[in-house]
Amino acid sequence: MNDISKVVLKIENLSYFYESEFNKIDIFKNLNFEMKEGEIIGLLGPSGSGKTTLLNCIGLLDSPKGGKIKILNVECSNANDFERTKIRSKQIGFVFQSHRLLPEFSSVENIIIPQLLLGVDKKIAYKNASELLKLLKLNHRSEHRPAKLSGGEAQRVAIARSVANAPKIILADEPTGNLDIESAKLVFDLLYKIAKMSKISCLIATHNIELAKKMDKIYSIKDKKLKLTKNF
């Protein structure tokens, strides 16, 4: 990846703390970080170090206590709820540790629904969803509801859903955390392939060092700071 690559995410001096009546706990302070188009970056750090908090801030689900978040060069930290929702639904895809699919809908419907919410034509949404299921080797599970899928299959549907609206960024919070070693590898490899193919940048929090080693870079949260641990 060379230096003229497009920066899709830039955070500047990002800080977060929890405050109660009695005390204030800093989670991270003055983090600086950028992600270029198509980069796949691992986010490591011990439990409680702030990985989920950071992803929630970047995903505009929570607001940082200080600093800036720029997505495609648009400053989002001060955006109102309407703008945040718009940026989130257009530019960001989420994958969580548990699939969070809608239980009463089939695999294909779970991938169609977010597209319909953005105004995509029903037939096009269906075609996109079917192609994604094929890419994720799940065409035979298209009509199954989440309860009828294995953990790895459900996570692959969740990945298809996260890329259905062609986001620029995927934020994944321990996407393979509930899976056995083999399924974790398959799910990660498919996420990697689809992200590289579509030039989607991914920030993936994980405790799995073996998977982290496959990513383009690894950052770690340590002592409330974000450090580049490995640049492959």
Listed ranges 47-55, 109-117, 134-142, 147-155: which one lies at the site for ligand ATP (CB under 6 A) = 47-55
50 lies in the binding site for ligand ATP (CB under 6 A): yes
By beta carbon distance, the residue nearest Mg ion is: 52
Residue 48 sits in the site that holds ligand ATP (CB under 6 A): yes
Q: Given candidates 1, 18, 122, 127, which one binds ligand ATP under the rule CB under 6 A?
A: 18
Q: Which is nearer to ligand ATP, 40 or 58 (CB)?
A: 58
Q: How many residues bind ligand ATP (CB under 6 A)?
A: 10
Q: Does 110 bind Mg ion (CB under 5 A)?
A: no
What's the CA gap between 16 and 33, in Å, rounded?
15
Under rule CB under 6 A, residue 27 binds ligand ATP: yes
> Which span (42-50, 129-137, 181-189, 210-218) binds ligand ATP, by CB under 6 A?
42-50
CB of 90 to ligand ATP, least distance (A): 25
Contact between 52 and Mg ion (CB under 5 A)?
A: yes
Name which of 52 and 176 has its Cβ closer to Mg ion: 52
Residues that bind Mg ion (CB under 5 A): 51-52
